[in-house]
Structure 1
């Protein structure tokens, strides 16, 4: 997975040629790191492509600064690059805080790798902090909104209606990512999956597997689809092992699954934006609202760190405050009150 090598335009001066040569030397170290990420950590192709783009920009920046070897990188180089990400000072497009933080994370990971492999004497990025992205709380649907969405998902005739209901029930019932759901094979559904203790095996980021229980609604919808609809879809294809099939008998794509959800949201009268990840957010939020431990939710979602899951606790706390302020008789002062009233004996 090579990083694009900079070319030296015809007529370029010696400085341009030297910068290009510097970048080529640095790229060798980047290729080693990308190979490590692919083989040792099993990152997805999309994640590797993002790392490749981020580090290619960093390499160009270092080469332009006259840095010829990885051991010549200093903390001020890393700091200047992080600043350039936000204002476009390196000649490339300025990034949002979240995109700049992602790129800075790739740079720090590369330097940690170089230090661990003995390719560098220190880590110049260790004290450089990436820009803090704005904290965006996930937007979950209310329980009744999810119920309405799932109710209309299976409306219509033919096998596609049963498939769509099973797909959305699984997304919400298991907190699955859309890629995990459409990536399911028949072998990933346990023989007992349609029984009382049914589970499903999901393959998450970095090819990590986890076992997640299915609720009764998801099991019933999946059983109806597998028994009554999937055989009809299989007849149009070449025997795909995928659980969810399109009308040609091939594996359902993420784009088609997304369109299925959008159509159901429209029929349910949900006007705000709804994505497959909205159902995952709703799954986590509703579990926590029901009293689930955050570490259990972490395991169900497949998060590597509980810190990622804890963002949902903020959503739940906000909901509790809102309910308290609306329903508790002493949560807010009366509109006509000019000061604090004295509690009566009944209080």
Structure 2
């Protein structure tokens, strides 16, 4: 069965890899511009000791916006659902992930959801810790528990690159500070936020994280609850409605798997009461999603009937 599963995944990668030529790596963050556009890899974790994989599945990449899912879970665990959603909304948006438009046009000026940059900044502001180092250590501890990998850390060069080019995110943060959504030193917030985005994993780590969220927040090692089931449910709902930026509706129709992408080319998928999926393909479409990764998930969903709809 193992050989069959990995052979099928390899065939799927070979079938969709041609789409990488139609994408573009995220060169607006200098440290991401060196990624190999042709890379495509996947790992699938089903809760046993076996993690099925194909492609360069051990290649490291940064979480980028995938981290938004994990900080949201931690923020709700820190403060409770009611307080978190007094600072950020629950509605999808058709605007780009880095847009400021809805902050200006809505009252109160809180972000529409936690999966866009403004919403992620508001959520990151809520993570407990006296400074950015305490916050990032708490988040790293959480991610290490989810993945079972105690070596996970952040890429200092990527974090520095993002911090130095974060003027748009600074603008979003200062706008929200003016309107009382966030408080405190914006540079401290940006330091934490850019380190959060620069946390490095591989496809196997993502698959295990996706599995925990898929299966009620319980650890695969000892069945211990890492994330309360109610929080895992909230997170998966946002992954369905907002996880693939302003392509989320089409993705729900074609794939139907709770998933979150990042501009490094990573995608984490969580099939409720099923498997976790980790994908890496740095060639992005015009929405900021891995172009071949999306095609690969569509093929997997069709082959294994993974859609929740």
TM-score above 0.5:
no
More helix by share: 1
More strand by share: 2
TM-score class, shorter: under 0.3
Q: TM-score, normalised by structure 2?
A: 0.24
Larger Rg: 1
Higher relative contact order (Cα pairs below 8 Å, separated by 6+ residues): 2
Q: TM-score, normalised by structure 1?
A: 0.22
